[in-house]
Chains A and B, each alone.
Chain A
């Protein structure tokens, strides 16, 4: 069943992206077109075929000893933050609408 503007809004909410009401129809069209383009994926006989989630799945992980190393200094970690307070990232209130 084709996606509607309401579906597009729901998907955008889940992805934490605000949308312009005027764009919803276009987004729904895009998603519907893509689902049609991707449909061949459903037509394979995949009975008994194991998935490959990673191209080097057969190789072993590159592991290291769990030794403490240098981390990014706090001032560098905060350097690109839009808002900071002392040694912390600053965010608006999480619940409710007032800062």
Chain B
């Protein structure tokens, strides 16, 4: 039977496999054939894992032949950001520091996706150690935006977003510390969810900033995302922050959001720095929400603008601490030196790229005794204010609508000043700081740039089912998300 992964969602594909319309093996073959023809252009993958994929496909086909019940996402081609461990793969964090590192255990989030029936196609590119907003800081390769190969896919989970947009994978996982799932999803025109902090286990995911990091899925549809979250949201004794989640993310997707209260942060949507086409698209999204019967309520987040400064204090400080484990003794790049001190410092100089070194230095400085009370402690107090802003706003509404990125994907090299690059995350970081859930949802293409534009929806902590419900209803007002056109050209 002929089938095309380009035209199917993960949920549709899994149903087709369960009905016997296609085998998991055929799906895996087609996925690799698409990767072969497209990834030369996109360069989303750092490693392909054919053996693991075909072995997983075989298990699914055998289980079906025996009449066993198949898991929810059986046979869905998936791939994982390369800061997630999976036995049988390398986990490099796109860094020279971890070149050749072999995973000796599997991250819980990856395991959960495999148990849900995922076919592991490979590992995806990212900004080195997830420090960046364009995937340009990867040591290995530059991932391209499938909608325009001269533009960045966003970051840090650029490979995860680009692979879905290129039609190579149907579900991918990324991690989001300040916007690293939502911003690349916005740039590549796919759905990207950062669940509420504590929803998904981080065990086996290389840590960046432990009070901000959260794992989440990318997909073409909100429904696929909800299925992925259902598989991911499980309490894990190996991550003390992971909570016992009982929510049903799938049954909520009815399309009926009549009476839902949507908070609108006009000061962000109309902010200077937000492109005109983004503003227009967000105004249109508000009209759609109103037409769906939702009630729009103006809300304010007065401290959210300060989130950038709080984030760039807290993030590097925690990264400095987390990356101290790279001592070139137990694993990682090792420089030649005659004593341990020199071995450590030279290995870290040679193994880490410039942006990683910069952020470690920034964190080191911020945590020094003279600055701790001037910057670090106040940043944690500001976190209290930002969190309170959200709590106050959510007394008036169920979900908040705001921009995801101030503009569409930029060209390679267009932003070369690191401090300017940091502004890419201006609308996403406050959600990590407060720990809420946030989703990036495609709302069409810019009427000037022709590039994907996204809305960001935000929910109170652990109300991710509500978030997906509203995103799903709003998604229905737009044409179906298609694989990027230029990917199909010439095939």
Partner of A38, one of B312, B368, B380, B383: B312
A42 within 8 A of partner (CB): yes
B358 within 8 A of partner (CB): yes
B84 within 8 A of partner (CB): no
Of all chain B residues, which has the CB nearest A53?
Answer: B380
Partner of B241, one of A56, A89, A92: A56
Q: Is A16 a contact of B344 with CB atoms below 8 Å? A: yes
Q: Chain B contacts of A99 at CB under 8 A?
A: 338
Q: Is B364 a contact of A92 with CB atoms below 8 Å? A: no
B360 within 8 A of partner (CB): yes
Tell me how far the C-beta of A57 lies from the nearest C-beta in chain B, rounded to whole angstroms. 9
Q: Is B361 a contact of A64 with CB atoms below 8 Å? A: no
Q: Is A44 a contact of B382 with CB atoms below 8 Å? A: yes
A18 within 8 A of partner (CB): yes
Q: Given A16-B344, A89-B329, A31–B378 Cβ distance below 8 Å? A: no
Tell me how far the C-beta of A89 lies from the nearest C-beta in chain B, rounded to whole angstroms. 5
Partner of B243, one of A39, A44, A56, A95: A56
B334 within 8 A of partner (CB): yes
* B interface residues, tally (CB under 8 Å): 74
Q: Is A51 a contact of B383 with CB atoms below 8 Å? A: yes
Q: How many CB-defined contacts (below 8 Å) exist between A and B?
A: 178
A41 within 8 A of partner (CB): yes
Q: Is the interface of B mostly helix, strand, loop or mixed?
A: helix
Tell me how far the C-beta of A95 lies from the nearest C-beta in chain B, rounded to whole angstroms. 7
Q: Is B241 a contact of A14 with CB atoms below 8 Å? A: no
Q: Is the interface of A mostly helix, strand, loop or mixed?
A: loop
Q: Given A14-B368, A37-B419, A62-B240, A44–B378 Cβ distance below 8 Å? A: yes
Q: Chain B contacts of A27 at CB under 8 A?
A: 358, 361
Interface residues in B316-366 (C-beta closer than 8 Å to A): 320, 324, 327-334, 337-346, 348-349, 352, 357-358, 360-365
Q: Is B384 a contact of A50 with CB atoms below 8 Å? A: yes
Q: Is A31 a contact of B362 with CB atoms below 8 Å? A: yes
In the bound assembly, the distance between CA atoms of A42 and B332 in angstroms comes to 38
Q: Is B378 a contact of A53 with CB atoms below 8 Å? A: no
B306 within 8 A of partner (CB): yes
Tell me how far the C-beta of B131 lies from the nearest C-beta in chain A, rounded to whole angstroms. 13
Q: Chain B contacts of A30 at CB under 8 A?
A: 358, 361-362, 418-419
Partner of B242, one of A33, A62, A92: A62
Of all chain B residues, which has the CB nearest A82?
Answer: B334
Q: Chain B contacts of A87 at CB under 8 A?
A: none
Q: Chain A contacts of B343 at CB under 8 A?
A: 91-92
Q: Is B435 a contact of A17 with CB atoms below 8 Å? A: no
Partner of A72, one of B104, B358, B378: B104
Interface residues in B428-452 (C-beta closer than 8 Å to A): 432-435
Q: Is B306 a contact of A94 with CB atoms below 8 Å? A: no
Q: Given A18-B345, A42-B375, A46-B381, A55–B434 Cβ distance below 8 Å? A: yes
Of all chain A residues, which has the CB nearest B383?
Answer: A52
In the bound assembly, the distance between CA atoms of A3 and B361 in angstroms comes to 13
Q: Is B313 a contact of A12 with CB atoms below 8 Å? A: no
Q: Chain B contacts of A94 at CB under 8 A?
A: 339-341
Q: Chain B contacts of A68 at CB under 8 A?
A: none
In the bound assembly, the distance between CA atoms of A92 and B341 in angstroms comes to 9
Q: Is B339 a contact of A56 with CB atoms below 8 Å? A: no
In the bound assembly, the distance between CA atoms of A56 and B434 in angstroms comes to 9
Tell me how far the C-beta of B437 lies from the nearest C-beta in chain A, rounded to whole angstroms. 11
A85 within 8 A of partner (CB): no
Q: Is B309 a contact of A41 with CB atoms below 8 Å? A: yes
Q: Given A33-B419, A97-B339, A80–B330 Cβ distance below 8 Å? A: yes
Q: In the A-B complex, list the 5 residue pairs whose CB atoms are closest, starting with the nearest.
A: A55-B435, A51-B380, A80-B331, A82-B334, A18-B349
* 25 pairs from A and B in contact (CB 8 Å cutoff): A11-B365, A11-B368, A15-B361, A16-B348, A18-B349, A27-B358, A34-B362, A37-B309, A37-B312, A38-B309, A38-B375, A42-B374, A42-B375, A46-B381, A50-B381, A51-B380, A52-B383, A55-B198, A56-B197, A56-B241, A56-B243, A64-B237, A80-B100, A82-B328, A94-B339
Contacts A31-B362, A72-B105 known; list 4 others, CB within 8 Å: A44-B378, A62-B242, A62-B244, A92-B340
